[in-house]
Amino acid sequence: MKLSLAIVALALTVPTVAFAQDSTAVSSSGQYPNTFSSGSANVSPFTNKSKRFNDWAISIGAGVPLMQSADLTSIKNGNGNNLFGYSAYVSIDKAITHAFGLNLQYDRGETRQGFFNTKDAAPANASVTQQVGARTQYDAISLLGDINFSNLLRRVDNHSPFRWALHGYAGVGVLSYRAYQKDEMGQRMVTEVKPFELGSMFAQAGAGLKFKVNRRLDIEGRVMYVVTGDDEFDGGGAKYSAINQREEQVSDNFVNATLGISLKLGKHESHLMWHDPLQEIYYKLDVLANKNQDIEVCKKGDLDNDGVCDDWDRQLDTPAGARVDGAGVALDTDLDGVIDLYDKCVTVPGPVENQGCPTTPVGLVDEKETKLEGIEFDLNSDRILPSNTPILNNAVNYINSSNGTYTVIGATDTRASEAYNQRLSERRANNVKDYLIKNGVQSGKLDAIGRGKKDLKYPECDPATKCPEWKNRANRRVYFEAK
């Protein structure tokens, strides 16, 4: 039982590790908005000055503990007088959100259990008949999670004043105690457990009903169920004593009913646990609905005159005359780094130094290579693109009109592993071969192989980051080789 409580405590205290993908362009400065903010212009750091609600409180209370599940109990169910102890607690409460908080709580008390009150005289032969009396003095420190169910589950159409709140509590901590047993020979301490040891861990859970008296004070009735994790807590003696063998349970547990008050600290008018965010939203919606506001479109103007307002223009210095997309960025149809305004070959990729045109003629010199080159693929894809269909149809005519046989060769760029690229290049070659056969080429004239990333049209693109995308795309190809 103690090991189980230790595992629960470890699970509650060790945070979950979150994994995130790296970004190549991250702005994490203290200025807002940045990469990690919501993108809204109304973003600022969360500091004590920006808080609108109090979130600290001190709570105290007192009550009655009753041994419920033990070899010696407090409740007799008509078979004797019930035995009542006392308990008290003090806690420091921190509200994390309007629906969840953490409480660091200290408990002190004494349970009374057995067949008679230890303040009374013991009956004759109490030890022989095992009808002993017992009491246990305990001290405990625990960390409790506090769920505000009333705030969490409040109906969206409930606009009534928020004065009552149902809270749920659960947590673990350390427990020290001194258990006393009394028979006809007198009263003596039978068990003592020191705090802050593995064997002293315990758990408790329960519920409380709070009433908001004013902005500073709450009253709460609370019922907690305490799991001690120890079969000797009730004063029955050693673990395998005759008294402790009466029941099968290995943990003496008790119910603790208390009445307490909470003093809410802080300079604000309201405490976070009593704030209903939905009501604030409704109020703001009502204000907006009744407010006449002239909306100014394109408040910052359009300084580069590209037809996209500067409020959402991602390129504020677009050259005059350039066509732009919806975000105000100049178009670059062939993605070669030269915008269409300055690109002399708009649909064919080429280096900046050559005004966006290839440094070698488009297509190769002889007729055979002209008909059988230029079949390119999207990244990580073996799908034949519509733009390749005219080239493949020319290849069908050329191969059928020739007497030779050909090898269909697939290749990739240098992204991904060698084994993956080898399989991808084979799929590309086989897809092209299948297309040609379906469109009339004799199967005996073709075979297909893949060379992965070992057959680059532009060998300087290893790794791929060293080249513009148009070169990497050219490396993702299928071409033909005469046998």
Does residue 119 sit in the same domain as residue 242?
Answer: yes
Confidence of residue 1 (pLDDT cuts 50, 70, 90): low
CATH of the domain at 108: 2.40.160.20
Q: Is 11 exposed, middle or buried (0-12, 13-18, 19+ CB in 10 A)?
A: exposed
Q: What count of Cα atoms within 13 Å lies in the side-chain half-sphere of residue 465?
A: 2
What are 126-162's pLDDT values in tens digits? Answer: 888 888 999 999 999 999 999 999 998 888 777 777 8
What is the predicted pLDDT for the residue at 23? 39
Overall number of domains in the chain: 2
CA–CA gap between residue 204 and residue 3 (Å, rounded): 16
Give domain status of residue 37, yes or no: no
Single residue among 261, 282, 303 that ends a domain in this structure: 282
Q: What is the pLDDT of residue 7?
A: 52
350-351-356-357 Cα dihedral, nearest 10 degrees: -50
**59: β partners:** 91, 262
User: What confidence tens digit (pLDDT) does each residue in 463-481 have?
Assistant: 888 888 888 888 889 988 8
351 upstream amide cis, omega within 30 of 0:
no
The candidate with the shortest Cα–Cα distance to 157, out of 281, 291, 284, is: 281
474: left (phi over 0), alpha (psi -120 to 50) or beta: alpha
Q: Looking at the structure, tell me whether residues 262 and 388 fall in a common domain.
A: no
Token output for 258: 């208390």
Q: In the predicted model, is pLDDT for residue 21 greater than 90?
A: no
User: What is the C-alpha to C-alpha distance for residues 96 and 39, in angstroms, rounded to an integer?
Assistant: 24
Tokens of 131: 């009808």
Contact 39, 33 (CB under 8 A): yes
Helix (H, G, I), strand (E, B) or coil at 134: strand
pLDDT tier at 363 (50, 70, 90 boundaries)?
very low
User: Quick check: is 189 in a domain?
Assistant: yes
Which of 225, 247, 282 corresponds to the end of one domain?
282
Is the residue at 329 inside a domain?
Answer: no
Regarding whether 64 and 174 lie in a shared domain, the answer is yes
Sign of the Cα torsion 411, 416, 418, 424 reads: negative
Q: Render pLDDT for 89-123 as a digit per residue (tens, 0 to 9).
A: 999 999 999 999 999 999 999 999 999 999 999 88
* pLDDT tens figures, 215-249: 999 999 999 999 999 989 998 888 778 787 777 78
Domain holding 371: CATH number? Answer: 3.30.1330.60
Q: Which of 282, 302, 331 is the last residue of a domain?
A: 282
* pLDDT on residue 165: 95
Q: Token pair for residue 368?
A: 């055979």
Judged by DSSP in three states, 237 sits in coil
Indicate whether 186 and 88 sit together in one domain: yes
Residues 126 and 239 in one domain: yes
Q: What is the radius of gyration, based on Cα positions, of the chain?
A: 39
277 and 157 part of one domain: yes
- The reply to whether 258 and 385 lie within a common domain is no
pLDDT at residue 25, rounded to an integer: 45
- The answer to whether residues 262 and 384 belong to one domain is no
Name the residue range of residue 454's domain: 365-482
Cis omega (within 30 of 0) for bond into 15: no
Share of the chain above pLDDT 90, in %: 38
Lowest mean pLDDT among 18-22, 203-207, 237-241, 289-293: 18-22
Concatenating the DSSP letter of every residue in 13-52 gives: HSPPP------SS---SSSSS-TTS-S-SS-----GGG--
Enter the DSSP assignment of 481: E
